Amino acid sequence: MRRIRESILVEGRYDVNKLKQIVDTQVIETSGFGIFKNQEKRALLRKIASVRGLIVLTDSDGAGFLIRNHLRGILPKDQVKHAYIPQVEGKEKRKEKASKQGLLGVEGMEPSVILCALERAGATFLDETAPVERGAGFTKAEFFALGLSGGVDSAAKREAVLKALDLPSGMTANAMLEAVNLMFTRDEFLKIVGDFT
pLDDT 10s digits, 31-50: 889 889 888 888 888 888 98
Q: Which of 173, 162, 91, 88 is nearest to 139 (CA)?
A: 173
End-to-end CA distance of the chain: 40
pLDDT beyond 60 at 144: yes
Contact in structure between 25 and 44 (CB atoms under 8 Å)? no
Confidence of residue 178 (pLDDT cuts 50, 70, 90): confident
| Mean pLDDT, range 124-153, rounded to an integer | 81
Q: Is 121 exposed, middle or buried (0-12, 13-18, 19+ CB in 10 A)?
A: buried
Predicted pLDDT of residue 18:
95
**Which amino acid belongs to residue 84?**
Y
Supply the Cα-derived Rg of the chain in whole angstroms.
17
Q: How far is CA 155 from CA 149, 161, 175, 185, in A?
A: 7, 10, 13, 22
The class level of CATH for 2-121 reads alpha beta
CA gap 24, 48 in Å, rounded: 16
pLDDT beyond 80 at 69: yes
Name the strand (E) or helix (H) holding 49. helix 39-52
CA diameter of the chain: 48
User: pTM (2 decimals)?
Assistant: 0.75
Which range of 98-102, 129-133, 152-156 scores highest in mean pLDDT? It is 152-156
Mean pLDDT, the chain, integer: 88
What region does 107 belong to: left with phi over 0, alpha with psi -120 to 50, or beta?
A: alpha
Predicted pLDDT of residue 134:
62
pLDDT beyond 90 at 109: yes
CATH 3.40.1360.10 in the chain, residues? 2-121
Contact in structure between 53 and 82 (CB atoms under 8 Å)? no
Q: Is 97 exposed, middle or buried (0-12, 13-18, 19+ CB in 10 A)?
A: exposed
| Mean pLDDT, range 8-25, rounded to an integer | 94
| Mean pLDDT, range 62-90, rounded to an integer | 92
Predicted pLDDT of residue 131:
55
